[in-house]
Amino acid sequence: MMLRGFLWALCLCFSLPTWAQSQKVAYFELETTAPKHRNTLEMANPIVWQQLKTIEGVSEHVLTKRDVRRLKKCKGKTKCLKRWLKKRGVFALFYVKVTDRDEERHAGISFRYLDVNGGKRFKNHNLVWTYDADLLNYDVEVLVRRWLKPRSLKGTLKVTGLTADTQIWLNETPLSEGLMKEVFTKQMMAGTHSLRVERNGYVPYAKNFSIDHRKETEVAVDWRIDPLHEMNQGLGEFNPERTEVLIGAGVAGAGALTWLGAAIGTLVIGAEVEKRAQAQMLFGETHEELVRQGQTAAWVANAGLGLVAMAAGWCAYWGFTPEEESP
């Protein structure tokens, strides 16, 4: 009698905006639970029913004898079952069975679910039977809500380690709420989400996290100093009037003039050597003297260029270094 009462008690109704009237979710035992697990099924039944009826929009639908005969004729074939669902205006079929979990005969609860808008196969999920009522209640609640009303699965995100100048992005969307606080909390849909926080002078922090139904997920931000920002902060403004900078600028100017003069000399000597080459006069003391002059000019040009580079480094160092205040 208790099992038969459960068959009637778990006939449910689920409202969808696309239908004119309230829709129904029917319970029907597609396969009979073995006698050795009937006691476990009788203990599981109230838990399942309790979680189903907490979902907003779910109510009872009573199976008639004609419905039972029709469902039995379908023999678990989804195409036949979906035709019955549409004909009777029922949204979905829900089925619970207790089975052997392993060789030691630990019990498991097998859930199967089929709705008119879903695919051609049953959705399946298995839970290990446990005498921890709180854990079993939670697992069943998450399961039935995921199938019947997934948007009702919500948890809480808690982000710690924030500062007044922190900027927050959730799922790549910038937030204006929660700013100027050390702790940020927000209720979110269950599932996987992304978090990114930024703060001036620190490396941006990013992390993917999961939200579980009716649970709090805490993310502690681990700030790391940005070395480039720290380097820039250590540099002062460039001071072009500092004595050391003026000296460096003078040396750089002298080096530049030296390089320019030597470069011009190198070009002149190169042109003369080219004329002698065309006249086939690449011999004698005059030619050797031109070669020595060209080598010397090239060396002087390189030295002048090196002097300019060193003077530029000198100017940059002393120009950005803050001056010590006299006591």
Report d(CA 293, CA 124) in Å as an integer: 92
User: Which is nearest to 317 in space by CA: 257, 242, 256, 259?
Assistant: 242
Only one residue has tokens 């689920």, namely 14
- pLDDT score for 161: 92
pLDDT score for 190? 94
Q: Options 2.40.50.100, 1.10.150.120, 2.60.40.1120, 1.25.40.10; which CATH number does 154-226 get?
A: 2.60.40.1120
Residue 20's pLDDT is 33
pLDDT digits (tens, 9 = 90+) for 30-41: 777 888 888 888
How much is the pLDDT for 172?
A: 92
- Tokens representing 259? 């390089």
The residue assigned the tokens 């008690």 is 9
Sign of the four-CA dihedral 76, 77, 83, 86: positive
- Written as six digits, the tokens of 319 are 């120009």
pLDDT at 13: 41
Distance, CA of 163 to CA of 55 (rounded, Å): 39
Q: Look up residue 196 and give its two tokens.
A: 């990114």
Phi, psi of 322, rounded to the nearest 5 degrees: -65, 140
SS3 at position 99: strand
Query: Could you give the 3-state DSSP secondary structure of residue 298?
Result: helix
Query: Which among 57, 42, 66, 44 is positioned nearest to 12, based on CA atoms?
Result: 57
This prediction's pTM: 0.59
Per-residue pLDDT 10s for the chain (327 aa) are: 333 433 333 444 443 333 333 567 777 777 778 888 888 888 887 888 788 778 877 777 778 889 888 888 888 888 888 888 888 888 888 888 888 776 565 788 888 888 888 778 888 888 888 778 888 889 888 988 888 888 889 999 999 999 888 999 999 999 876 567 889 999 999 999 999 999 888 999 999 999 999 999 999 999 998 887 655 555 556 667 777 777 878 888 887 888 888 788 788 777 776 776 666 666 667 767 777 877 888 888 888 888 888 888 887 777 767 666 544
> Could you tell me the residue ranges of all domains in the chain?
2-151, 154-226, 235-320
Q: Between vectors from CA 149 to CA 147 and to CA 155, what angle results, nearest 5°?
A: 105
DSSP-assigned letters across all residues of 134-171 = HHHHHHHHHHHHHHH-GGG-EEEEEEES--TT-EEEET
Q: Which CATH class is domain 2-151?
A: alpha beta
Q: What gap in Å lies between CA 126 and CA 211, rounded to an integer?
A: 21
Find out whether 197 and 167 touch, Cβ atoms under 8 Å: yes
307/247 Cα distance (integer angstroms):
13
**One-letter amino acid of 1:** M
